[in-house]
Structure 1
Amino acid sequence: MIRKLLYAIPIGILLISCQDDNETPPQPLDLTARLMAGGETTVHSATSIAFETPAPNMTAKNLALHLAGDAQFEAVFVTAPAEVNQGLGPIFNNKTCIECHPKDGRAAFPTGDINALSGFFLRTSVPGKDPHGGPVPTPGFGLQLQNQAIRNYEPELKFKVTYTDIVETLADGTKITLKKPNYSITDPYTTFPANAMLSPRIGPPVFGLGLLEAIPESVILSRQDIDDSDGDGISGKANYVWDPVAEKMAVGRFGWKANTATVLLQSAGAYKEDMGITNYVFPIEAGVDQSNGNDGLGDDPEIADSILDEVTLYCRTLGVPAPRNIDSPQVQKGAEIFETIGCAQCHVPQQTSGNFPGIPSISNQTFYPYTDMLLHDMGEGLADGRPDFLADGNEWKTRPLWGIGLTQLINGHTDFLHDGRAKNLTEAILWHGGEALKSKDSFKELSTADRESLLAFLNSL
């Protein structure tokens, strides 16, 4: 029908041609607003301290608390009795917050001995649900495996990893070998249950957490599409978890499976599980019912309430590094490709915080974390097979991408994903499956130039 009309009305061809000649060419994606990645908390720094700089818009009172929390975040704990920083263990994974979050950034997967002190550990549980719908602790081992112990005590066990190679071929012929880790345990202090599940973790960056905590719950829930009602293959859902401080269920925001509701709970849990240090939120030793886990000192909680509160505020008020090179045509092209191949459906660029009591610096901010805060099925390749509240064994929370391009500069590596298995951004993308499979396949089909543009955009964040 169109062809007949064009032949019948030649002048129409002339008019259409003139109109086409005068059309404004497509404009590159405007990234200007995204320069303020953390809203008014943004730090315009591309140096080795970009992750550990205070938000510049804090009140004098909160800045003082932030600096106190900074000192506590770097404190190295020792065994009791001691004059300062006592309470380590008896079983633990590391001795200080900063070792799991170096320079407030991302931990590397341990090179050499997997049982050396690092930001890596294993979660565990057995099938079933606890009274709040959460995972059931593994008898004799709890919810996290501690592979270190103080003198005269025995670690719970040791970690072991082997690898299976998976080769991915890109459209230009480039072959990428992914190494899939296979985790197991050795030398348990007592019998390790045969039905216990294992899930690996690596310490993630801690900047910007306050902004993520301040996103209104209604906004997070509004992005859910549990039954994929729009048919786009993306069915994100929020996790609902138990908040023992508020004594109610709440939307999960933190942790690789969004299994923690607040920065306070995340911090308190790290003190207890990672370092064996009790606090007012979790006043009982991690291994109190175990033959290797009770120090019997009766000194719990082992840190003052003020220390936990200072560290919590510190994590809530770290500044967010601004992106770089946003005027580069290559970066702008990469941003367009990021949208075109569907990455932004889960890595949602923009979020807005609500009012956060006591911390005006993170309240009512428009910021750009590149996350929807939801759980997504990432496929069998990344699956850990371990449920955590509403998260099933294939689901992970969309990680924020802000600051990702500074990882090499600040942390000296590019180990990405929940266990550091991806050794660069290309590998991280190629591990995507499930709901992200279509985007992964589109990435594989990109030309060399377009692939480099996408990576340039990610490295600009």
Structure 2
Amino acid sequence: MKLPFLNWTLRATACAACFGSLTSASALAQDNPNLLSPHLNVLPRTADETDRIKKVTAPTTDFTKAERFEANGGGGTTVRAKNNADAFSSVSANASFERELDFKVGNGLFKKLWVSSPSSTLVSDGLGPLFNARSCQTCHIKDGRGHPPENADDNAVSIFLRVSVPVDGTKNMTEIETYLHAIDPTTQRTAPEPTYGGQMQDLAVLGHAAEYRFDVTYTEIDVTLSDGETAQLRRPNYTAADLGYGPLAEGAMLSPRVTQQMIGLGLLEAIPVGDILANEDPDDSDGDGISGRASWVWSDEFDRIMLGRFGHKAGKPTVREQSAAAFSGDIGISTPIFPSPAGDCTQAQDKCQTAPHGTTGGDGAFEIDAQGLDLVTFYARNLAVPARRDIDDPDVLRGKELFYQVGCTSCHVPKFVTDRLVDQPEQSFQLIWPYTDLLLHDMGAGLADNRPEGLANGQEWRTPPLWGIGMTERVSGHSYFLHDGRARSLLEAVLWHGGEAQTARDSVAKMPRQDRAALIKYLESL
């Protein structure tokens, strides 16, 4: 697999620092892992390890019993599945006592309620001025999925709207856009909305107007299944109502985002780049209808192109950068990566730009410093995956067989082995079962937000991990799925699949009711 940006003449410093002269990204990741994963201190695999990994991650063909280690989805980090809402809030099982203390301090910062400036609580001020939540925990309740609104009167806080405007042509491209254009010349250029930025904030501190009110209505759609069974899907229509700073720019594109569950993030971050790229097939050369492709993104932390892994469209490369972006966009808190104390406020929002912030009159340069960001990152990396349940149940095994037969594993890849890491013992060299390839896939017009983001077009989404999905209701108090929470059950989520997943979706709709129930039971065991 060749990547154009590795052959393209980059500026000399970036080329030398990031990619050297190699043209194969897979070979680059194998021979020089730190070049494509500068956030990880990696020990190269030996030939013997590579051979063992190939064997242990090969797809199973025996569905009469569970596979060895299958119950431990997070490898050595896996914890016992709790029977309460704290099931996603445990530290990695293999963490030392000292590192568990760091996890608890990070948890405190994750739950911390920020206040507006100026304030006597100097270590906690800096909120906003525009924001979506006062803490990370406000959206990621119990470290689980967000709760989408049921209707226009439901004041949900775990969903927001991304916003951008199209940019025509290739003139006056920024350096980042030039990189992305070199990777994929068909990439549609976009820019933040000139007044509202890249994200709509529905809350504001005293004296400031919120940007909008989130409004949604649903239309019910009947779907006929086999054996006389029917299902209902709800198609959402989202509106940015009560705009506080004037109308949106012409052509503004809105896309809803429900917060995702937090478990296993450090393990996903530790999957070798080369192993992810091995599943790429952007031209569908094998003719199976699946054409996943990598999301190459610009890292503000490392000032280079990196593989995107996090977010609904794989827009961020690391847990630390994803965390910093959330502090900035969701809470309005500055960090060493995104240093603006005004968060997502634009230059058109003068009052927001000139408002007091959390560094006013203090010694610190940021509202949360590098140490604080590192502790939150450590917490997010080490939220443990709960153990599987009922893995030897006959119906679960039958559902697993169907999961493989209809092609779900083409995108929801079951197994990986993480890199050997010098300073992250919890995530180092673990056999994990995340059920994702971390690639972008065309999911069809039904799920399209019609808003490009980086290399992802308006119909592409990153394959979400499935581990822990069966515990959603236990943790979050609901069973809503997909990027905007429109699916009210796992079956509805499957039936919304289109594009590359259309064949698999149709197979599920046509299979006997008993098999369909077994498939859902398998998903509920993850």
The alignment's TM-score, normalised by the length of structure 1, stands at 0.91
2:74 is matched with which residue?
Answer: 38
**Residues 423-432 or 278-287, more deviating:** 278-287
1:166 is matched with which residue?
Answer: 221
Q: 2:159 aligns with which of 112, 116, 120?
A: 120
Structure 1, unpaired ranges of 5+ = 1-25
Change (3 A) 1:244 1:325: same
Native 8 Å contact 1:79 1:150 kept in 2: yes
Output the CA distance in 2 between the equivalents of 1:319 and 1:185: 36
Native 8 Å contact 2:63 2:400 kept in 1: no
Output the CA distance in 1 between the equivalents of 2:174 and 2:139: 28
Q: Percent identity?
A: 44
Is 1:383 the counterpart of 2:448 in the alignment?
Answer: yes
Greater Rg over alpha carbons, structure: 1
Paired letter, 1:94:
A
Cα deviation digits, residues 321-352 of structure 1 (max 9, x gap): 11100111010111001101111111011011
1:15 is matched with which residue?
Answer: none
2:112 is matched with which residue?
Answer: 75
Cα deviation digits, residues 85-113 of structure 1 (max 9, x gap): 21111101111111211111111112455
Output the CA distance in 2 between the equivalents of 1:130 and 1:222: 30
Native 8 Å contact 2:434 2:467 kept in 1: yes
Output the CA distance in 2 between the equivalents of 1:251 and 1:244: 13
Q: 1:325 aligns with which of 381, 385, 390?
A: 390
SS at match of 1:313: helix
Native 8 Å contact 1:94 1:117 kept in 2: no
Is 1:254 the counterpart of 2:310 in the alignment?
Answer: yes
2:141 is matched with which residue?
Answer: 102
2:289 is matched with which residue?
Answer: 233
Paired letter, 1:280:
P
Output the CA distance in 2 between the equivalents of 1:97 and 1:453: 36
Native 8 Å contact 1:224 1:237 kept in 2: yes
1:442 is matched with which residue?
Answer: 507
1:117 deviation in Å? 5.0
Output the CA distance in 2 between the equivalents of 1:381 and 1:143: 24
Native 8 Å contact 1:103 1:410 kept in 2: yes
**Residues 351-360 or 329-338, more deviating:** 351-360
1:61 deviation in Å? 3.3
Native 8 Å contact 2:334 2:366 kept in 1: yes
Native 8 Å contact 2:229 2:513 kept in 1: no
Q: How many residues align?
A: 437
Native 8 Å contact 1:29 1:336 kept in 2: no
1:179 deviation in Å? 1.0
Cα deviation digits, residues 377-427 of structure 1 (max 9, x gap): 000000001111111100000000000111111111001000100000010
Q: How does 1:295-334 map to 2 (within 5 A)?
A: 295-297=354-356, 299=359, 301-334=366-399
Q: 2:95 aligns with which of 54, 58, 65?
A: 58
Cα deviation digits, residues 287-307 of structure 1 (max 9, x gap): 152135225325252123221
Change (3 A) 1:201 1:303: same
Is 1:145 the counterpart of 2:197 in the alignment?
Answer: no
Cα deviation digits, residues 197-231 of structure 1 (max 9, x gap): 01110000111000000011111111100000000
Is 1:281 the counterpart of 2:325 in the alignment?
Answer: no
Cα deviation digits, residues 226-257 of structure 1 (max 9, x gap): 00000000000010001011100100000000
Change (3 A) 1:386 1:130: farther
Q: 1:220 aligns with which of 263, 276, 279?
A: 276
Native 8 Å contact 1:29 1:335 kept in 2: no
Output the CA distance in 2 between the equivalents of 1:276 and 1:304: 14
| Cα RMSD (Å) | 1.7
Paired letter, 1:155:
A
Structure 2, unpaired ranges of 5+ = 1-61, 168-172, 178-188, 360-364
Output the CA distance in 2 between the equivalents of 1:204 and 1:130: 31
Output the CA distance in 1 between the equivalents of 2:211 and 2:353: 12
Change (3 A) 1:136 1:29: farther
Change (3 A) 1:396 1:345: same
Output the CA distance in 2 between the equivalents of 1:372 and 1:217: 11
